[in-house]
Amino acid sequence: MTLSLHHQPLTAEALAEQFFRNCAGEWTSQRRYYSLTSGETQEVTSEITVEFLEPERELLRELAQRHQLESETPFLCGSRVTWESHYEGVSRKPSRGKTVFGVRGEILYRDRGFATPKPVIADFWFTNPETMCLKTEYNNSSFEEELKLIGEKYRTRQTVIRRDGEELMIGQYLETRR
């Protein structure tokens, strides 16, 4: 007897939920920003905490309100990320922050953008279950990101920032789970 199993491909939402669950934890991020206009580089070390959020969490309801979404459970899941960053070679105070993400369909909702305190959205897709890609656009700028889980202990990220169609900066990150 032959048994044939047919697997449905996972939806973007299901892949995002799995990815967010796998990213939960404490990370140390070492990153370098390359300014493409000036040629300068900036090194930053951050301590990051990623928390997986179930759909009923109050943080996700608050995020839905900021985006004017109506529903008892507007998101499949989400994530809260908090960080403290230290800049090397410059006399700048450490920066601290937090942001909340919510997954709905193929859109990632965020309570704030990289360069704005206003809520933003990003299109997302997966090249494989371990690699999430995002594209966020606002204020004539675009941010393209790739986040890749490498085993249980490592994650890489790369961000390309454009304004008015011109590439301005590339950020490259190596993150290690603590």
Task: Give the pLDDT confidence score for residue 5 in this predicted structure.
Answer: 61
Domain contains 125: yes
**What does the pLDDT read at residue 57?**
95
In-domain check, residue 2:
no
pLDDT at 7: 64
4 within a domain of the structure (yes/no): no
Q: CA 131 to CA 30: how far, in whole Å?
A: 19
Q: Is there a domain that residue 7 lies in?
A: no
Residue 32: exposure state from Cβ atoms within 10 A (0-12, 13-18, ≥19): middle
Q: What is the CATH number of the domain that holds 29?
A: 2.40.128.20
Length of the chain: 178
Residue 35 lies in a domain: yes
The stretch 117-130 carries a mean pLDDT of 97
pLDDT at position 2 is 57
- Give pTM, 2 decimals: 0.91
Domain that holds residue 155: 12-177
Q: What is the mean pLDDT of the chain?
A: 94
**Residue 112 included in any domain:** yes
- If pLDDT is split at 50, 70 and 90, which confidence band does 146 have? very high
Residue 5 belongs to a domain: no
CA distance 110 to 99: 7
Q: From residue 123, how far is each of 2, 34, 83, 84, 103 by CA, in Å?
A: 41, 24, 23, 26, 10
pLDDT of 162-175, one tens digit each? Answer: 999 999 999 999 99
**What total of structural domains would you count in the chain?**
1
31 located within any domain: yes
- How far apart are the C-alpha atoms of 121 and 66, rounded to whole Å? 11
What does the pLDDT look like over 79-102, one tens digit per residue?
Answer: 999 999 999 987 777 899 999 999
> What confidence category does residue 58 fall into, taking pLDDT thresholds of 50, 70 and 90?
very high
